[in-house]
Amino acid sequence: MRAGAWRGLAALLLFVFSLACATGQGPDVPDRDPWEPMNRKIFAFNEGLDRWVFEPASVGWDFVLPDAVQKSVMNVFDNIFMPAVMVNHLFQARFKEAFAQDLPRFLMNTTIGWAGLFDAASTVGIDKNYTDFGITLGRWGVPTGPYLVIPLLGSSSPRNVVGKAADVWSTPYSLWIVPGISIAIRAVELVNLRTLFAEEIDQSRTESIDYYSFIRSAWEQNRRYRVLEAQGKEPSPEFDDGQVDLYYIDAIIDAEADEEVEKQSPSPSEVEPSEAEEGSS
């Protein structure tokens, strides 16, 4: 990379970092969206791109490739990103995750799992972790800054933009391969993920009154969860772990359904004596 490109990257990182610090009111204050008018326009552009490009492409992808192959493609990309996960766990001083989980998982899936095509590590109880440099910054108290929607990339924040720029060095295909090939690989990853999560996306679009607000809330909750986890605090239990930030829908719906069942279930004091006697007999 040329010296001018280095200076440009440094200037960009400094700019977005200053935005995060200048506008932040704490590490993760929710529902701060001062750029909402601009964000909604970019969000509408991304939605149009998804409906006219990625959704049709995912339908064709799903028609051509079996589910098992789609999962293998996702496994490969997860495995490629695993060194970045390990490095960020080291930066977060989470050495157990780095050495007892990330490293053996990467080595096992790269070798026995045929370069990540198969998730061999999960079969022996080494589950997938996810973290990134944006979470690392949050772990050490860097404020997230306002919610930001980026063309093509979607939900983000100034802190997350800095994190993505740093993480790019850990994904070889995005930096060291010819740009055209790198873009094609990234497109394959996005289309494959879009195919795997098609039902969740359609469901959230149908059920949400304001899809923009739903996505913003889901993204912010997920990032807060991950930062709390990195800080060693107890995160809310209704979120699962995984690499796709926006789609923690099923777990949330299940948790809400369980709460409704508990509300509707009668307490022991409300059970009729005859019912209690029948239960004891």
Q: Which residue has the higher pLDDT, 159 or 272?
A: 159
Supply φ then ψ for residue 149, to 5 degrees.
-105, 130
pLDDT bracket for residue 233 (50, 70, 90): confident
**What local confidence, expressed as pLDDT, does residue 18 receive?**
60
Flag whether pLDDT at 191 surpasses 70.
yes
pLDDT (mean) for 83-112: 96
Confidence at residue 174, expressed as pLDDT on a 0 to 100 scale: 62
- Mean pLDDT over 230-242 rounds to 65
Question: Distance of CA 170 to CAs 86, 159, 179, Å?
Answer: 10, 18, 16
Band of pLDDT at residue 186, cut at 50, 70 and 90: confident
Mean pLDDT of the region 213-219: 94
- pLDDT value at 277 more than 50: no
Instruction: Measure the CA–CA gap between 244 and 218, rounded to whole angstroms.
Output: 11
- Determine the pLDDT at residue 252: 39
Q: How far out from the chain centre does Cα 206 lie?
A: 21
pLDDT at res. 19: 56
Band the pLDDT of 216: cuts 50, 70, 90: very high
What mean pLDDT do residues 230-259 have?
Answer: 51
Residue 146: what residue type?
Answer: P
**105 exposed, middle or buried (CB, 10 Å; 0-12, 13-18, 19+)?**
buried
Residues of the chain with pLDDT > 90: what percent?
Answer: 62
Average pLDDT value for residue range 54-71: 96
Compute how many other C-beta atoms are within 10 angstroms of the C-beta atom of residue 119. Answer: 20
Domain residue limits at 205: 3-280
- Residue 98 scores a pLDDT above 70: yes
Structural domain count, the chain:
1
Neighbours of 170 (CB within 10 A): 19
pLDDT confidence tier of residue 112, bands split at 50, 70 and 90: very high
Q: Which residue has the higher pLDDT, 256 or 96?
A: 96
Q: Say yes or no to pLDDT of 280 above 50.
A: no
Query: Which has more confidence, 200 or 274?
Result: 200
Average pLDDT, the chain: 80
DSSP symbols for 157-178: -HHHHHHHHHHGGG-HHHHTS-
Res 107 pLDDT > 80: yes
Helices (runs of H) and strands (runs of E) counted in the chain = 14, 2
CB 214 within 8 A of CB 89: no
Q: What average pLDDT score do residues 238-262 get? A: 42
pLDDT band at 13 (very low <50, low <70, confident <90, very high): low
Give, in order, the Cα–Cα distances in Å from 276 to each of 202, 210, 218, 263, 280: 45, 46, 43, 20, 6
What is the rounded distance in angstroms from the CA atom of residue 134 to the CA atom of residue 105? 22
Distance (Å, whole) CA 192 – CA 172: 19
- Tell me, what's the pLDDT at 185? 85
Residues in the chain: 281
